[in-house]
Structure 1
Amino acid sequence: MGVGLPGAIDPQSGLIKNCNCLVLNGHDLRSDLMQRLGQPVWIANDADCFTLSEAVDGAGAGATTVFGVIIGTGCGGGIAVNQQLLSGPNAIAGEWGHNPLPGYTPQRDGPAQACYCGKQNCIESFISGSGFARRYGEQAQAEAIVEAAQNGDPQALAHWRHFIDAFARSLASVINILDPQTIVLGGGLSNVGQNLPRSAPRHRALSVLR
């Protein structure tokens, strides 16, 4: 059985780390599942699984370098080069969600956001589905905010535009480092807002070297 989950699996100990489902951190979930199920179990980061799948026979098929993004409850990422996963010696390659939001200012992005990882203003706090909803307030779900924006609600539309701007700024920093041939988006928040504007000011959001 194969399991994809948020967070990384420590290559030495097999323990889960950096998972936004905090109860899993520090646990050897693979051993627990094998003991309960009585069969072999393989565990990997969900964004890594997504990226490798897309690089082999999905939207990134044929691309030399693929950066896969999952924006859902959290904000994960994975890297595939020549259809091979690049995970790094600590299994954290592609974990862009816990880098600081590029160009953060309180005037542009609102109050500082504390992240469960212990840092402030992580990308995940701004562009994950949960972060998108939390920053809007009013106990609203991401889908409801997007629907309000589609119906012309000015507050919701402004919030959506900021999301696109923050998302593009974050991707620009990855592009400048990795220079991927293809970026593939996945996760719940990547499937909403089909009828909403998706472009952001080039001078602010697409500061990519050419």
Structure 2
Amino acid sequence: MITCFDIGGSAIKSAVAHSPSDIRPLTRTPTPLDDFDAFAAALGAQLAAAPLEARSAMALSITGVVDPETGLITCANIPCIDGRSLAADLEARLGGRVVIANDADCFALAEAMVGAGRGHRIVFGAILGTGVGGGLVIDGRIVSGAGGYAGEWGHGPIVASAAGSPPAEIPRFACGCGLAGCLDTVGGARGMERLHRHLHGAERSSADIVEAWLQGGSAAARTIDCYVDLVSGPLALTVNIVGAGIVPVGGGLGRVPRLVARIDELVRGRILRRTDRHLVVPSVSKVEPGLIGAALLGLEPDPAGSSPAPA
């Protein structure tokens, strides 16, 4: 039994994990962003609400990347923990063992072990949320990569210069990572909105664009046509590189089955392997996938075995 946390830029959610299939929510509190003492105290307060036997180990799913060699975290969304040896610092403050993984990695682990990826050796979890993220799990273990970076298919100057039928010119939008032309600039919810603005000169939310498309709107259909074209190429390349047997999709856009089905159709037509089975599928984790992934990490009986696999 452990206490697990799902930590984002707006909230810290906690739960007690009796097993990967028995996760009982505890509390939710705003995330302190600029004061590490307050951040540690917020976790401590939630830990104190857990049964005594669940307080000796903590597992964190967190926005940000932990370098597996140095233990240092890079986390722009929560400045007070950026650059810290977070696991060591929390162990010193709160006691007990602390394991940490990126939230996208935890999502991928949850889907691989108890979600849509069950029975597959290689699972690539794709997140189409506000932006584009992902995680890679092989043989039940997270692949963290050098510096903690793996599964980041949203970054790199790879966006096509034209998309849709007939082709529309796509600019190389500047990305928050410092590059230009990254999939993250057009592949998430904000990217879909940017794409719609470029194509039609109109401001619409991603939710409105998707709803209009589902209702047969022509402008929205044009945006979605370009969107799935832009997303499916990089995702097909990712599948070819890692050999994924299945790609569960999470995030807000991942909850639109018809959109995921369109991406799946295009991806299967662009990969080297030919298959009639669905490859890109909606995620199925019912509880918060970050909490499930953290629980899976923390419940690993061998502490060394719970560390992410090297690149």
Within the alignment, does 1:168 sit opposite 2:168 as a pair? no
Cα-Cα RMSD: 3.2
Using the aligned pairs only, state the percent identity. Answer: 33
Within the alignment, does 1:7 sit opposite 2:64 as a pair? yes
Q: Which has the higher strand share?
A: 2
| TM-aligned CA deviation for residue 185 of structure 1 | 0.8
Within the alignment, does 1:95 sit opposite 2:155 as a pair? no
Contact 1:176 1:209 (8 Å CA) reproduced: yes
1:124-162 residue CA offsets vs partner (Å, 9 max, x unmatched): 111111211233234422111111112222111110111
| Pair 1:29–1:109, CA change in 2 (3 A) | farther
Amino acid of the structure 1 residue aligned with 2:170 = G
Contact 2:67 2:146 (8 Å CA) reproduced: no
Distance in 2 (CA, whole Å) between partners of 1:133 and 1:146 is 10
In structure 2, what is the equivalent of residue 59 of structure 1? 116
**Match 1:46 to one of 103, 119, 127:** 103
Contact 2:132 2:188 (8 Å CA) reproduced: yes
In structure 2, what is the equivalent of residue 34 of structure 1? 90
Contact 1:51 1:68 (8 Å CA) reproduced: yes
Gaps of 5+ in 2: 5-58, 274-311
Distance in 1 (CA, whole Å) between partners of 2:141 and 2:259 is 35
Distance in 2 (CA, whole Å) between partners of 1:195 and 1:173 is 19
TM-score by structure 1 length?
Answer: 0.82
Amino acid of the structure 2 residue aligned with 1:110 = I
**Match 2:125 to one of 68, 75, 82:** 68
* Corresponding pairs, count: 208
Distance in 2 (CA, whole Å) between partners of 1:117 and 1:88 is 18
Moved more, 105-114 or 63-72: 105-114
**Match 1:207 to one of 250, 270, 279:** 270
Gaps of 5+ in 1: none
Q: Secondary structure at the match of 1:11?
A: coil
Amino acid of the structure 2 residue aligned with 1:84 = R
TM-score by structure 2 length?
Answer: 0.58
